[in-house]
Amino acid sequence: MALLNILHYPDPRLRTVAKAVTDFDAELKQLVNDMFETMYEAPGIGLAATQVDEHIRLLVMDVSEHRNQPRYLINPKIISADGEEESDEGCLSVPGFYEKVRRAENIRVRAQDDSGETSEFEAQGTEAVCIQHEMDHLEGKLFVDYLSNLKRNRIRSKLVKMQKQLVG
Amino acid sequence: MTMLDSNPRWIALQVILKLVDRGRSLDDTFASEWFQTLPLSKRDQAMSRELSIGLCRWYFILQPLLNQRLQKPLRARDQDVEIILLLGLYQLLVMETDAHAAVNETVKLTRLLKKNWASGLTNAVLRKVVRDDLRWQEIDRVMAYPEWMQQLIRDEWGDLSQQIMVAGNQRPPMTLRIDSRQQSRDDYLKQLESKQIEASAHELISTAVQLKTPVEVAALPGFDRGLVSVQDAAAQIAAELLQCEPGNRVLDACAAPGGKSSQLLQQYADIHLDALDISETRLDRVRENLQRIGKPARLLVGDAAVPEQWFDGKRYDRVLVDTPCSASGVMRRHPDIKLLRRESDIMSLASRQRDILDAIWPLLKPGGMMLYSTCSIFKNENEKQIAGFLQSNVNAEEIGLSSFNWGNACVHGRQILPGESNMDGFYYALLRKSGLD
ipTM summary value: 0.87
**Chain A within 8 Å of B101 (Cβ-Cβ)?**
no
C-alpha to C-alpha distance for B31 and B25, rounded to whole angstroms: 10
Inter-axis angle of helices B79-89 and B8-22, nearest 10 = 130
Q: Under an 8 A CB cutoff, do B3 and A65 touch?
A: no
Instruction: Tell me which long-range contacts B40-43 makes (C-beta under 8 A, separation of at least 24).
Output: B40/A43, B40/B5, B40/B6, B40/B8, B40/B11, B41/A40, B41/A41, B41/A43
Per-residue pLDDT tens digits for A135-158: 999 999 999 999 999 999 999 998
CB B54 within 8 A of CB B90: yes
Q: Which domains does chain B have, with CATH numbers?
A: 4-138 (1.10.940.10), 174-230 (3.30.70.1170), 233-433 (3.40.50.150)
Confidence of residue B241 (pLDDT cuts 50, 70, 90): very high
Burial of A154 from C-beta contacts in 10 A (0-12 / 13-18 / 19+):
middle
Nearest CB to A133: which of B1, B6, B100? B1
Q: Under an 8 A CB cutoff, do A43 and B6 touch?
A: yes
Q: Under an 8 A CB cutoff, do B41 and A41 touch?
A: yes
Closest C-alpha among B295, B235, B223, B294 to residue B259: B235
Q: Under an 8 A CB cutoff, do B41 and A165 touch?
A: no
Task: Tell me how crowded residue B111 is: count the other CB atoms within 10 A of its CB.
Answer: 18
C-alpha to C-alpha distance for B232 and B8, rounded to whole angstroms: 29
Residues of A in contact with B37 (CB under 8 A): 65-66
Nearest CB to B1: which of A40, A95, A130? A130
Confidence of residue B37 (pLDDT cuts 50, 70, 90): confident
Question: Residue A167: what pLDDT?
Answer: 65
C-alpha to C-alpha distance for B142 and A63, rounded to whole angstroms: 45
Question: Residue B437: what pLDDT?
Answer: 55
Residue A138: enclosing H or E segment and its boundaries?
Answer: helix A125-138
Question: Which regions in chain A score pLDDT beneath 70?
Answer: 166-168
Residue in chain A lying closest to B10 (CA): A96
C-alpha to C-alpha distance for B300 and B177, rounded to whole angstroms: 25
Indicate which residue of A37, A122, A134, A139 is catalytic: A134
Q: Under an 8 A CB cutoff, do A45 and B112 touch?
A: no
The radius of gyration of chain A's CA atoms, rounded to the nearest angstrom, is 16
Residues of B in contact with A129 (CB under 8 A): 1
Question: Residue B92: what pLDDT?
Answer: 96
Per-residue pLDDT tens digits for B337-379: 999 999 999 999 999 999 999 999 999 999 999 999 999 999 9
Burial of A55 from C-beta contacts in 10 A (0-12 / 13-18 / 19+):
middle
pLDDT, mean over chain B? 95
Residues of A in contact with B1 (CB under 8 A): 44-46, 61, 89-92, 129-130, 133-134, 143
pLDDT of residue B307 exceeding 80? yes
Residues of B in contact with A97 (CB under 8 A): 111
Q: Is the dihedral of CA B91, B96, B101, B107 positive or negative?
A: positive
Lowest mean pLDDT among A120-124, B54-58, B432-436: B432-436
Q: Under an 8 A CB cutoff, do B40 and A46 touch?
A: no
Dihedral of the alpha carbons of A61, A66, A68, A70, in degrees to the nearest 10: -10
**Chain A within 8 Å of B46 (Cβ-Cβ)?**
no
Amino acid letter at B58?
Answer: W
Residues of B in contact with A164 (CB under 8 A): none
Q: What percent of chain B has pLDDT over 70?
A: 100
Per-residue pLDDT tens digits for B91-107: 999 999 999 989 989 99
Q: Which residues pair with B186 in a beta bridge?
A: none
Q: Under an 8 A CB cutoff, do A44 and B100 touch?
A: no
Per-residue pLDDT tens digits for B184-193: 999 999 999 9
Closest C-alpha among A101, A149, A107 to residue A125: A107
Amino acid letter at A139?
Answer: E
CB A111 within 8 A of CB A25: no
pLDDT of residue B222 exceeding 90? yes
Nearest CB to A96: which of B3, B39, B111? B111
Alpha carbon of A10: minimum distance to chain B alpha carbons (Å): 16
C-alpha to C-alpha distance for A74 and A157, rounded to whole angstroms: 34
**A-B C-beta contacts closer than 8 Å:** 52
Concatenated DSSP letters of B254-276: T-TT-HHHHHHHHH-TT-EEEEE
C-alpha to C-alpha distance for B267 and B269, rounded to whole angstroms: 6
Residues of A in contact with B111 (CB under 8 A): 96-97
Alpha carbon of B36: minimum distance to chain A alpha carbons (Å): 8
**Chain A within 8 Å of B102 (Cβ-Cβ)?**
no
Q: Which residues of B are catalytic?
A: 375
pLDDT of residue B36 exceeding 90? no
Q: Residues in chain B, how many? A: 437
Q: Under an 8 A CB cutoff, do B112 and A41 touch?
A: no
CB A78 within 8 A of CB A111: no
Q: Under an 8 A CB cutoff, do B2 and A42 touch?
A: yes
C-alpha to C-alpha distance for B393 and A75, rounded to whole angstroms: 81
A37 tagged catalytic:
no
Alpha carbon of B101: minimum distance to chain A alpha carbons (Å): 9
Q: Under an 8 A CB cutoff, do B2 and A45 touch?
A: yes
Q: Under an 8 A CB cutoff, do B100 and A165 touch?
A: yes
CB A15 within 8 A of CB A165: no
C-alpha to C-alpha distance for B341 and B349, rounded to whole angstroms: 11
Question: Residue B61: what pLDDT?
Answer: 98
Which of helix, strand or coil describes residue B62?
helix
Residues of B in contact with A95 (CB under 8 A): 2
Q: Which domains does chain A have, with CATH numbers?
A: 12-167 (3.90.45.10)
Residue in chain A lying closest to B107 (CA): A96
